[in-house]
Structure 1
Amino acid sequence: MKKKCPYILMKVNIYGCGLSGLTVAHELVEKGFQVEIFEKAPIGGGMARSFRYDNGVPTEHSWRGYGPFYKNVFDIMKRIPVKETCPRDDFGTYYSIEEVKKHTTKDSLWTYYKGEVYDVTEFMGSHPGGSLILNAGGKNLEQVWEDLGYSWHMENPYVMKTLKKYKIGKLKEGFQSKTTYDNLNTDSLKFFLLDNSVSEKKASIKIHDVPYLSYIFSKVLFSNKRRRDYYKISFDKLVKNKISKSSFRYLVDFIGGAGYGIDKKSLSYAHYVLFFNHNFNVLNFKFFNRKDFLWKVLNKPTSEGWIEPWISFLKNKGVKFNFNVSLERIKHDGKKVEYCVVNATRVVAEEHIFALDPYSLKRILKRSNFPVLQPKIEKLSTVNNQISFRLGFRKKVKIPIKNTGLTFVESPYTITTYFQEDHWCPGTNLGMNGKIKSLMSGTLITPYYPGVIYKKSGTSLTKQQLLEEIIEQIFMSKDFLNVVENKITKEDIIFKEIFPDWEEKNGRLVSKNVKWNNNTLNQEYRPLGNTKYSNMFLTGGHNLTTVDVWTMESTVESGKITSNMILEKYNKKKAYLYSHSEKNEIIKTIQKMDDFLYSVGLPNIVDVLFIIVIIYFLLRRV
C-alpha cells in the first residue's frame, strides 16, 4: 500500500508590489501557496498608488479611469471585501432569497446569479432546453448549472448576454457583502474637449472620414500575424493629412492622447485600433451603445479605495509583505534561480516572480548575468514621460455636468484632468484642514512639446516653472473658463504640486519610477510570463497579453497569466482569466485566411477583396 505524500506548502517570492504582483499573490495564496512580497517603496500599488501629504492633500502618479473592457481588473476588485463604501441611492431594487423562492412556476419564474435577481418567465418559450428551465425557479442559478452539468454556461458570452436582459434587481443578502468594485462610481465619466477659444463646434469623427477609417481599422482587426508589421507604423503619421482636422483631433489628440492617457506621438497603428475596438466594440456593432464604452473612476483615492483594502485582505490570507527593501541580485545556475539577494540578505523559494517595471528589471538582469534575457528587456524599455500634477482651489469650482473629465486638446502639453471632489464620496478630505474646496488632478500627456511661457518641454523646466506652465495653459483656455459656472482666477489656487516621483537633476525633470508604454519600437520584445529558467517568471503590463495595450487591465491580466503558469505546473485549478482574443468564429476564419496571404507575401485580405471587387466590375463592363 502506497503512502500518501505529505502536503508541502510551496513558497513563492514576488519582487514588486504593483498591480501584477498583487494579482499573483491573490491568485496563489487562495490556492494554498505560501506567498511573500518584497517591495522597494514604502507602500504598495506601483504606478496605481496614491498617498497623502502631511497636510492631508491626496496625490497620485496619474488620475486613472476604469475602462469597460477591464474584465480581469473587475474580477479582482469583486473579490476584495471592504467594510463600507459611499452612501449611494442608485443601487436599484433589492429582493431577499425568501422572496425569490416564491417565484417557481411557469407563470412567474425567478432565479438569482452572483448576487443579482432575474425574472426569466418570458424566456421560457424560447429556452433551448424547454421546461428544464423550471429547475432554476427560486434557486441559485450557478448551483443549478453545476448540478445539471451546464457549468460551461458561466463562461458563454451569449448565455450571459441573454441572462442580462431579464435582470430585475439584486439580492439583499448580496448587498451586505461589499467589495472594492463598489467603490467605482456607477455613473460613467464624460469628457469635455476644451479649446483655447470658445467654440460650439467640438472635435468629432466626420462622416466623410468613416470609409477610410473603416478601411484601415478593418485591416488590423481582420489580421493576425500581419499585425507585427502594423505595430511598427505610427498611427499619427498614418492618418495625418488623410482625414479632416476634426476627426484627427478627436481620434489622435483626444482618444489617442489626453482622453485615455496614451502617448499619441509614439502610439502604433495596431495598438490604436485594438484600443479603440476594446472601448467601442466595433466588430460587435456596439459603437453607438454609450453604456458599453464609457469609463468610470473610483469614489476615493486609488490606494484608499482599492490598494489598501487589497493588501489588508492578502495579509489576512497569510501573504507576508516587506516594504522599503530592494532586490539587488538574482543567483542562478543556468537552469533555475537558486536565491535572490534582498537588502544584502539571501531569500529562497520554490518559485520566484519578478513583478518589476522593465527599467528596474533590466538593471537587475545586467547585474545578475542573464546574457539572453537582459538584452531583450533592454530593447523593451522605452521611456514615457507623462507627468502628473495637482492644483488645490480655495473655492469650489462648479462644473455643470456631473462626472466630467476635462481635456485641453489645444494645450501644448495636452493636459487631461478632473476635479476629484465631484467624483469622490461626499465629505472626502481634500487636505489643508478643509481649506481646499476643489482639487484638480491632471496629467501632461505630451510634455515634450514647447510650452507657452518658457518655450521649452516640460522635462526641461524646474518644478516651479512647470507648474507656471500648467496653470497658464489651463487658464488660456476660454472654453474652460466658459464651462466653469463660477468665476475663478489663478489667485484661487492655494496648493500646487508635481508628483514627487519627479526630481530635478542636471537641469531636467527625471522620474524615479519611469513609466512604460506601448509604441512602434517595443512590441516584438514584450516577454511572456515564463522564462528558460524553470522557477523564474515575469509579470507586468509590459508583458504580452491578449488586451495588448498597456493599461491596468493588461497589468492584472499578466498577473493572472503568470499565476496560471504556476498553478498548471503544480496541477492546481487555474484562476479565472478573461481573454480579449477574438471570439467571433467568422472573424477568426478571416484572420486565418489573411495569415495564409501574409505567409505567401500577398496583401492584406481587405485589399485583396477590394482588388477582386474592382476586377469583377471591370470585367462586367467589358
Structure 2
Amino acid sequence: MSGGNVGLRRGVSFGGRVAVLGGGVAGLSAALELAERGYSVTVFECHELGGKARSVPVPGSGLPGEHGFRFFPGFYRNLTDTMRRIPFAGNSNGTWDNLVRASAYRGARANGQTDMVVTFRTGSLLPPESHMFGPAEVIALITLASSTLAHVPFREAFYGARKYFTYWSSCDERRLGQWDLLSWNDFLQAERMSLAFRSWFADGMVRNLAAMKSKDASAHSVGLILESTIWSSLGRGNEPGGTVDRVLNGSTGEKLIDPWTAHLSALGVDLRVGWTVTDLAVENNAVTAVVVSDRSGTSHRFDADHVVSALPVERFAALLSPQLLAADPGLAGCARLRTEWMNGLMFYLRKELPVIHGHVNYVDSPWAITSVSQAQFWQRPFTEYHDGTVRDCLSTIISDWSAPGMLNRKTARECTPAEIAREAWQQIKAHLNSHGKVVLTDAMLHSWFLDPSITAPGTPAVANTSPLFVQHPGSWRDRPGSRTALRNLFLAGDWIRTDINVSTMEGANAAARQAVNALLDADGSPLPRCALGVLYRPAEFEHLKEADRERFGLGLPNLYDPDKLTPESTGRNSGPVLGRGPGLSHDA
C-alpha cells in the first residue's frame, strides 16, 4: 500500500475531522450539517457529486440530461429545509426558490382506453384541519374517485378503498410487523382484480411517487407514500409553500447540485471526486482508517475522528469485512437488501410538447415508463443549450427493465441503447396517439440519450452502476439505523431506516440528519441537533390506531380489513418491531 495519510483541508474548526463516504444527496446533506457546526469535513466520491440526483449532460452537445427527473412532493420537509440554506443568486430562499408547481397528473392509456387526468389545486378544497374525516367518509370518497376518475368497477373500487383505509387505520406495529412483510400487490389481492383496478390501485401513481413496482415493494412502503400524497392533496402535511407536485425550473445540476457543492467548498469542505473507498480498517470497536484509492489507483489511508458512510447500499455491503461484522453483527442484514434499475432516457424534441403540466404515467407500458416535459417548467430555453434546434426534452424514466417490450418483446436489459430508445418511443406513442389524435410524431424527435449508468448494454455483461434500493417485503428488518455499534461510524442514505421509509432524496437527507445527530451525541457535543421533519399523522385516526394496536397484540386483523388478514397469516415476525413510528428509527 502506498501514498500514506491524506491531509485534510485546514481552516477554522471547532469540531473534529470527519470523513464522509459518498457524495450523493445523503453525503452532501451530512457535509453541510457538519460544516455548519464547525467540523472539518472531507467528502470522497468515486463518480460524480450528486449521485442519483445528478444531471448527466450529453457529451459534446451541451444538452442537459438527468439520471432520472426530480420530483419534490409538498410533504418533503428535510431536503427542502436544506435547499433553503443553499445560496442561489437572486433567490431569497436559496435553491428552494427554484421549485415550481406541477399542476396535473396524467395516466395515459394505450389501445384507445380513456386517459385519466387529475388536477392538483394550489390549496385544499377544505381549509387544512377544518374538517375531521371519519372512516365511512374516507372510504366513500376514495370509492367515488376510483370509480369516476379511473373507471374501476364499483365493487372493486369499494374494496380498494377499504384496503386503503385498512392501512391508514393500522398501528405502527402492524405496519412494520405485518404489512411490511407483504407486497403491495398481495395486500390488495391485485392479481384477482380487473385491469382497471390494478392500473389505479396497484400501480397508478406509485410509479411517479417513488418509481416502485407494486409487485416488488412492501405494502408498508407503498401505503405510507400514498397516504402522505393523499393528505398532501387535501392540504395537510405540506411544508409552508409546498404543493402536491413540484419540479425544478432547470436542470438539477444548475439549480441544486452545483450551487450546493459550491457552498460546501466555501464552507471549507474538501470535495474529492474520483476517490473510491475500498476498505474500512476496524480495531477496538472503531474505524481507525478509511482506505481509499485515487484516480490513478494509488491506495491511501485516511485518518478521521468520525466516519459517516453515505454510500449506496450495494457499495456499503461490499465493505462488510469480518472485522466490521464482528464489531456490529447487525450490519449483516445490509447484504440482503435489494436494488433494482430505474434510469433515465432523454428524448430531445424539435418542438415544445407540454403533454400535461406535470408527470405522465404510461399506464399500459410494460417497461413502466413515466415522463415529464421539461421546457414548460424551465427558465432557460432549450435552444440556448445546443444549436437552437432542440426546444424540449421529454425526460423519461424506465422503471421495469425485466418485462418484455410492447413491440419488440425484449426486456430493456436485453436491448442495445438504440433498441431501448426505439421501443420506449413506440410505447409512449402508443399511449399519446390515441382517440384519433396524433400528439407525438417521429419528425419531432431530434435525438435521444440514455443514462450512461447502464454499461455494456445489449450484451450479457450489461450492468447498472447506479441502481435504486427497493423496499422489498420484509426489508425493514435488515435495514440499519444511522448509529452503528462502532463508536465512530454512522450511516446515511435512502436505504437507512427513516420516517419516510421509501428511496427518495428526502429519505437520504433525513438519514444524513440522523447520522449527524448520532455523531454529535457520540462526540458529547453541545451544538444544536439537526431538526428532523416527520410525515403528517391525522389526529382523527389516532384512536383507531390505538384500538388496532390492541387487536394486533391479540393476533386479530385490522377492524376495517375486508380480507381479515391476521398477523400470523402474513408471517408476523416473532421478534420485536424496531422503531417508534411508521419508518422512524431509534436514531431519530
Q: Structure 1 length as normaliser, TM-score?
A: 0.75
- Residues 1:285 and 1:63: Cα distance change in structure 2 (over 3 Å): closer
- Residues 1:282 and 1:334: Cα distance change in structure 2 (over 3 Å): same
Q: Within 1, Cα distance between the matches of 2:362 and 2:75?
A: 25
1:195 to 89, 109, 112: 109
Alignment pair present for 1:336 and 2:342 = no
Q: What secondary structure sits across from 1:273 in the alignment?
A: helix
Q: Where do residues 450-469 of structure 1 align in structure 2 (5 Å cutoff)?
A: 450-469=404-423
Q: Where do residues 36-435 of structure 1 align in structure 2 (5 Å cutoff)?
A: 36-41=42-47, 43-52=48-57, 53-84=59-90, 177-185=92-100, 187-200=101-114, 202=116, 205-206=146-147, 208=154, 209-221=156-168, 222-227=170-175, 228-239=177-188, 240=190, 245-258=195-208, 260-281=210-231, 294-343=244-293, 344-366=299-321, 369-371=324-326, 372-380=329-337, 382-393=338-349, 395-399=350-354, 401=356, 403-428=357-382, 431-435=385-389
Q: What secondary structure sits across from 2:244 in the alignment?
A: coil
Q: Which residue matches 2:513? A: 560
**1:163-189 deviations in whole A, cap 9, x for unaligned?**
xxxxxxxxxxxxxx341011111x324
Alignment pair present for 1:528 and 2:475 = no
Q: Which residue matches 1:492? A: 444
Given that residues 540 and 555 in structure 1 are in contact (C-alpha distance below 8 angstroms), is that contact kept between their aligned partners in structure 2? yes
Alignment-mate amino acid for residue 205 of structure 1 = S
Given that residues 74 and 181 in structure 1 are in contact (C-alpha distance below 8 angstroms), is that contact kept between their aligned partners in structure 2? yes
- Residues 1:491 and 1:583: Cα distance change in structure 2 (over 3 Å): closer
Q: Within 1, Cα distance between the matches of 2:324 and 2:191?
A: 48
**1:408-455 deviations in whole A, cap 9, x for unaligned?**
111221211122112111424564322212221101122321013331
Q: Within 2, Cα distance between the matches of 1:73 and 1:201?
A: 33
Q: Within 1, Cα distance between the matches of 2:79 and 2:441?
A: 39
Q: What secondary structure sits across from 2:178 in the alignment?
A: helix
Shift of 1:577: 1.3
Given that residues 194 and 409 in structure 1 are in contact (C-alpha distance below 8 angstroms), is that contact kept between their aligned partners in structure 2? yes
Q: Which residue matches 1:162? A: none
- Residues 1:196 and 1:604: Cα distance change in structure 2 (over 3 Å): closer
Given that residues 197 and 479 in structure 1 are in contact (C-alpha distance below 8 angstroms), is that contact kept between their aligned partners in structure 2? no
Q: Which residue matches 2:472? A: 519
**1:110-157 deviations in whole A, cap 9, x for unaligned?**
xxxxxxxxxxxxxxxxxxxxxxxxxxxxxxxxxxxxxxxxxxxxxxxx
Deviates more, 1:9-18 or 1:471-480: 471-480
Given that residues 228 and 536 in structure 2 are in contact (C-alpha distance below 8 angstroms), is that contact kept between their aligned partners in structure 1? no
Shift of 1:482: 6.1
Alignment pair present for 1:23 and 2:34 = no
Given that residues 279 and 293 in structure 1 are in contact (C-alpha distance below 8 angstroms), is that contact kept between their aligned partners in structure 2? no
Given that residues 56 and 429 in structure 1 are in contact (C-alpha distance below 8 angstroms), is that contact kept between their aligned partners in structure 2? no
**1:482-532 deviations in whole A, cap 9, x for unaligned?**
6666xx522432311210010126425310122212221422111100111
- Residues 1:602 and 1:236: Cα distance change in structure 2 (over 3 Å): closer
Q: What secondary structure sits across from 1:603 in the alignment?
A: coil
2:15 to 3, 6, 9: 9
Q: Within 2, Cα distance between the matches of 1:482 and 1:196?
A: 12
- Residues 1:539 and 1:286: Cα distance change in structure 2 (over 3 Å): closer
Given that residues 210 and 502 in structure 2 are in contact (C-alpha distance below 8 angstroms), is that contact kept between their aligned partners in structure 1? no
- Residues 1:315 and 1:429: Cα distance change in structure 2 (over 3 Å): farther
Shift of 1:367: 7.6
Given that residues 461 and 509 in structure 1 are in contact (C-alpha distance below 8 angstroms), is that contact kept between their aligned partners in structure 2? no
Alignment-mate amino acid for residue 187 of structure 2 = L
Q: Within 1, Cα distance between the matches of 2:561 and 2:404?
A: 40
Shift of 1:23: 1.0
Q: Which has the larger radius of gyration?
A: 1
- Residues 1:201 and 1:8: Cα distance change in structure 2 (over 3 Å): closer
Given that residues 352 and 537 in structure 1 are in contact (C-alpha distance below 8 angstroms), is that contact kept between their aligned partners in structure 2? yes
What is the RMSD of the two structures over their aligned residues, measured on CA atoms?
A: 2.9
Alignment-mate amino acid for residue 179 of structure 2 = Y
Deviates more, 1:264-273 or 1:194-203: 194-203
Q: Structure 2 length as normaliser, TM-score?
A: 0.79
**1:308-329 deviations in whole A, cap 9, x for unaligned?**
1011111111111111001111
Deviates more, 1:490-499 or 1:424-433: 424-433
Q: Within 2, Cα distance between the matches of 1:179 and 1:40?
A: 28
Alignment pair present for 1:507 and 2:433 = no
Shift of 1:306: 0.4
Q: Percent identity?
A: 21
**1:14-51 deviations in whole A, cap 9, x for unaligned?**
0001111111111111111111111101x311110003
Q: Which residue matches 1:441? A: 395
Alignment-mate amino acid for residue 196 of structure 2 = S
Q: Which residue matches 1:126? A: none
Q: Within 2, Cα distance between the matches of 1:236 and 1:560?
A: 33
* Higher helix content, 1 or 2: 1
